[in-house]
Structure 1
């Protein structure tokens, strides 16, 4: 089972990467980052080779919108993993 939770200051020391989904989300993440932040901050959508850095919230959409967001997130995560594996 997976659970969502709010980002906390310890996350900036615990995780190597923290991604936002849209510009507002990313601004909020950056505003929470402490001065001693170790995590690389970015937009997950930057890893989508099909373009579009922003991943819109499908909350008010239909099933197709949720599927589209899922597929975009999957592509982005796979490309991020590919690049991170290559760099290490």
Structure 2
């Protein structure tokens, strides 16, 4: 069910810094960022988090999230506001957690993570209580893929917060 790793307590100010990562930063990671921000806001925990998202590739730097990702979030009462960006080496010091969507992203992140970085790099799906570790790319499919992603990132967000003790 859980990540099997120690869950960080946040930085010295008690802020948990979380970066969500997918390939292009237009479908899965901005949705995960928006859902996680929504849940923390609903629980009155926003001040305890710095939340962002990025892509391992630079295909969509400067772009808004995919319209289907935004529509799925809006349909579920979640606001999305993000401009695509690519992961940078500084993200590994600026964030405590770098949570990615699939094994390809995980390998890319592990390859570029600077030695000595304290950021925990792992699959966001490690927190899925249903055991579905991969958050699949919905880009080439229909709306059902975005709905499935929304349900999964919601479950993962809830479990991640639970493991943080929040």
Question: Which structure dedicates a bigger proportion of its chain to helix?
Answer: 1
Structure 2 match to 1:75: 155
What's the RMSD between the two structures over aligned residues?
1.1
Question: Which structure dedicates a bigger proportion of its chain to strand?
Answer: 2
Structure 1 stretches (4+) deviating beyond 3 angstroms?
Answer: none
SS at match of 2:164: helix
Greater length-normalized contact order (CA 8 Å, ≥ 6 residues apart): 2
Tell me, which stretches of 5 or more residues in structure 1 are unaligned?
A: none
TM-score by length of 2: 0.50
Query: Which aligned pairs between 1:3-42 and structure 2 lie closer than 5 A?
Result: 3-42=83-122
Residue-by-residue CA offset, 1:38-81 (whole Å, 9 max, x unaligned): 10111000111112211110001111111101110111011101
TM-score by length of 1: 0.91
Tell me, which stretches of 5 or more residues in structure 2 are unaligned?
A: 1-80
Structure 1: how far apart are the matches of 2:112 and 2:92?
9
